[in-house]
Amino acid sequence: MDGLTTSPHVSVNKLGRYLTATPALRKRLIHAQKHPPEPHYLRYPEAAQAISDFLCRGQDEALLRHHQHRLATTVYADAFEAHRAQLCIEAIEHYRELHPRLGLRDLAASEVGHEPPALLVAGVSIRVWPQVVLQAVDRQGHNKVGVMKLYFSKHHPLEERSGQYIATLLQAFAEQHLAALGPVDPRLVRVVDVFAGREYLAPKARTRRLSDVQLACEEIAARWPVQ
């Protein structure tokens, strides 16, 4: 068992849910983070990669169609893999319909990488893992930077508060790890709920939200050994 599963950690999406969850759901979320499914059981990595590819290669819609066609025509080893491919095709289609409303056409996008660094809060490693870095040049010619995170769930759409917590942590990630590219512009910090067709930007008021994150991580660290 590696260090990620033995030390307290949480994905930013699950932490966003945790911060608005009932006590019972909080307990289940910690258990799921401590005992994660095998990587091949994750449902949407191909959809995330397809959308990242689209954003980083000129936002040509033909790229999304290409990925959908590839997923639809691949022969899969079992029913689970075939079902996962269908879910990814649906996710890509939802994003294709949503994309024109996101206002990303004039932004430059680049991939973050497969294992970007985590945020450490109260002894808990928060795996933020945005899909792309977003950059723009303002009227004075200065570079601005942000990040975009894709959220995939057909049956558990983000609540407003959860989306804002995740966006707050995305901004903290960008400020900590992308400062060399320029100042972070909150308008370039995006959380996109693909199936719900909603976008959340980093809120201006962060102090209380970051305090909530601190308290939640303290709780996760305390409960981790007994989950």
pLDDT tops 50 at residue 2 = no
pLDDT of residue 113: 73
User: Average per-residue pLDDT in the chain?
Assistant: 91
The pLDDT assigned to 124 comes to 94
| Average pLDDT of the segment spanning 125-133 | 94
pLDDT computed for residue 1 by the predictor: 39
- Residue 223 and residue 218: Cα distance in Å, rounded? 9
In a domain, 11, yes or no: yes
State residue 116's pLDDT score: 83
Q: What is the enclosing helix (H) or strand (E) of 108?
A: strand 108-111
Domain-located, residue 132? yes
Q: Residues 152-155: contacts with CB within 8 Å, 24+ apart? A: 152/43, 152/44, 152/47, 152/48, 152/91, 152/194, 152/195, 153/193, 153/195, 154/87, 154/90, 154/195
Residue 59 resides in a domain: no
Tell me whether residue 162 is in a domain: yes
Residue 209 maps to a domain:
yes
- Prediction pTM value: 0.90
Q: Which domain holds residue 210?
A: 3-39+103-226
150 lies in some domain: yes
Average pLDDT on 195-220 reads: 94
User: Stretch 179-208: mean pLDDT, rounded?
Assistant: 93
Q: How many domains does the chain have?
A: 1
